[in-house]
Chain A
Amino acid sequence: DTAVSQTPKYLVTQMGNDKSIKCEQNLGHDTMYWYKQDSKKFLKIMFSYNNKELIINETVPNRFSPKSPDKAHLNLHINSLELGDSAVYFCASSQNTPGADNSPLHFGNGTRLTVT
């Protein structure tokens, strides 16, 4: 009964390929996020969706395209993968939108993407 689950856990691929990471939350939350943690361990917000609508896009290259088929799912599709995309990608969810209140974020355990 994992709250926020991501698949796959590991993803190894070559430059130029297109790949997707899936995320699902069973907490009934309205808002979902993608964060990226690079090799220096900095954790940066990428996107956020609230009830299937994009509310945050932190100047991420347009090779990254999030898609939210329903409020329990937020997938991340990456086109033309580059070496610099290698990182751990975390999905998260919260009850409300950022700023609406201080509802905590619940994170998944990450997807380690390695681009060779």
Chain B
Amino acid sequence: DAKTTQPNSMESNEEEPVHLPCNHSTISGTDYIHWYRQLPSQGPEYVIHGLTSNVNNRMASLAIAEDRKSSTLILHRATLRDAAVYYCILPGRGSTLGRLYFGRGTQLTVWP
């Protein structure tokens, strides 16, 4: 199964944009890139997913590199509530088709 690599931690100031990177060099042509986040003491929360084109929703934007070997989750204006662990995930393949395996993620700290 394809793996992802994310920085362990990142920091941002409130109201500044945040760019959370993810490398997935072994991605296949049909793998969607999924992002979830987990706020303290809560369950993971879906953020966004995409295949090739950049994607936007009310929570964030997902910028996908042309070769699809990396992507960036963009929070346009960080708030204190955005402090969370952000997970970049590629679903499983073959016998584990579609399953979401969560890695360590990136711990985002937002400073007031």
Contact = CB atoms under 8 A, between A and B. Distances in A.
Question: How large, as a class, is the contact surface on chain B?
Answer: 20 to 34
Contacts of A106: 46
A114 interface: no
B21 to A, nearest CB: 20
Interface string A61-93: 000000000000000000000000000001010
B99 A109 contact: no
B111 interface: no
B100 A45 contact: yes
Taking residues whose C-beta sits less than 8 angstroms from the other chain, chain A's interface range is 20 to 34
B45 interface: yes
Q: From DSSP, what is the main secondary structure of chain B's interface residues?
A: loop
Contact of B98 (A41, A43, A90, A100): A100
B100 A108 contact: no
Given A41-B104, A42-B104, A104-B49, A98 B44 contact: no
B34 A107 contact: no
Nearest to B31: A102
B1 to A, nearest CB: 12
A99 B97 contact: yes
A109 B40 CA distance: 10
Interface string B2-38: 0000000000000000000000000000001010101
B91 A105 contact: no
